[in-house]
Structure 1
Amino acid sequence: MKSGLTRLAALAALCAALGGCGIRTTSVPVDAGAAPSRVPCELSAQDSPAEAAAGVPLQVYLVCGAQLVSVDRTVRVPEEKLSDRVRVAQTLLAELKKEPANEEKQAGFTTDVRETLAVSGAREGDPRDALRLSSQPEDLPTHALAQIVCTYADSAAAGPDRSVVLGGPSDDPVREYQCTAALKARPESVLPTLGEIRPSGR
Structure 2
Amino acid sequence: MTPKGRIRRAAAALAVLIATAALGGCGIRTTQVPVDAGPAPSRVPCEVTSQDLTPQAQPKGVPVRVYLVCASQLESVDRTARVSEKAVGSRTGMARALIDELAREPSSPEHEAGFATYVRGPLVLSGPRPGDPAGTLRLSRQPEDLPPAALAQIVCTFAEGRAAADGSVVLGGPGEYAPRGYRCSAETKERPEEPVPTLGALPSPSS
* Structure 1 residue aligned with 2:133: 127
Which segments of structure 1 move beyond 3 Å, counting only runs of 4 or more? 31-39, 195-200
Unaligned runs of 5+ in 2: 1-24
Distance 1:65 1:38, change over 3 A: closer
Task: Report Cα offsets for 1:8-29 as digits up to 9, x if no partner.
Answer: xxxxxxxxxxxxxxxx983249
CA drift of 1:198 comes to: 9.8
* Structure 2 residue aligned with 1:109: 115
Contact 1:174-1:196 within 8 A present in 2 as well: no
Contact 1:112-1:141 within 8 A present in 2 as well: yes
Aligned counterpart for 2:194 among listed residues 185, 189, 193? 189
Contact 1:175-1:196 within 8 A present in 2 as well: no
Q: Secondary structure at the match of 1:81?
A: helix
CA drift of 1:156 comes to: 1.6
Unaligned runs of 5+ in 1: 1-23
Report the number of matched residues. Answer: 175
Alpha-carbon distance in 2 for matches of 1:99, 1:81:
23
Alpha-carbon distance in 1 for matches of 2:200, 2:177:
12
Alpha-carbon distance in 1 for matches of 2:187, 2:39:
28
Alpha-carbon distance in 2 for matches of 1:180, 1:40:
23
Alpha-carbon distance in 2 for matches of 1:159, 1:34:
40
Contact 1:59-1:151 within 8 A present in 2 as well: yes
TM norm structure 2: 0.75
* Structure 1 residue aligned with 2:146: 140
Amino acid at match of 2:77: V
More helix by share: 2
Alignment of 1:150-189 (within 5 A): 150-160=156-166, 162-189=167-194
TM norm structure 1: 0.77
Task: Report Cα offsets for 1:115-147 as digits up to 9, x if no partner.
Answer: 121111101111231000111111000000000
* Structure 1 residue aligned with 2:58: 51
Contact 2:140-2:174 within 8 A present in 1 as well: yes
Q: Secondary structure at the match of 2:189?
A: helix
What is the alpha-carbon root mean square deviation over aligned residues? Answer: 2.9
Alpha-carbon distance in 2 for matches of 1:42, 1:56:
20
Task: Tell me, yes or no, if structure 1 residue 75 matches structure 2 residue 81.
Answer: yes
